[in-house]
Amino acid sequence: MTAYERPREMLWIEVPATSTAEELARVVDAYPPGSEGRSYLVHMDLMAGRVAFGDTLTARGYQVTVSEEMLRRYTFGTQQEHFAVVWLGDPDTPGETPNPVVCLLPAEHGLAPDRLQREPPYTEVSLAEYHQWQHQGEPS
């Protein structure tokens, strides 16, 4: 696990792409939301096949809210990457944390935060748009 920190912005953590839901939850334990709550952006390649991630966090006592409709799309150089948005804590009382967002990246993708485009920092994408984007260029 490698972490890149930008104070008051984001904490980027590289984890193996083969991480289990339990291993991802241990990363959250290492960077907990505290009493203020915190957003965790989880790369969609890490979420694939890991529907138990939210259940694993709930079993640890976290209050979990997962965006069921929207993803965030970030651009690293020319490469677009999609992230699920997971909020841990009371969604009605967000507060200030040193790093309000923790982002989990698959280490094997080589998505260096210094290649992240700054403007706009991200766009919101519906799950339908994401699935359409995923299947671009495939024969109908």
Residue 76 within a domain: yes
**Three-state DSSP class for 47?**
helix
Contact 6, 113 (CB under 8 A): yes
Residue 81 within a domain: yes
Residue 86 within a domain: yes
Helix extents (H) in the chain? 21-30, 44-47, 52-59, 127-134
Residue 77 within a domain: yes
Residue 98 within a domain: yes
pLDDT tens over the chain, length 140 residues: 666 665 456 888 999 988 888 999 999 999 888 777 888 999 998 887 666 888 899 999 998 888 888 899 998 888 889 999 988 886 666 555 555 788 899 988 888 777 777 777 788 998 888 888 877 755 55
Residue 140 within a domain: no
Give me the number of domains the chain comprises: 1
Measure the CA angle with vertex 41, ends 40 and 45; round to 5°. Answer: 130
Give the domain range for residue 53. Answer: 2-134
Residue 139 within a domain: no
Residue 108 within a domain: yes
pTM summary value: 0.82
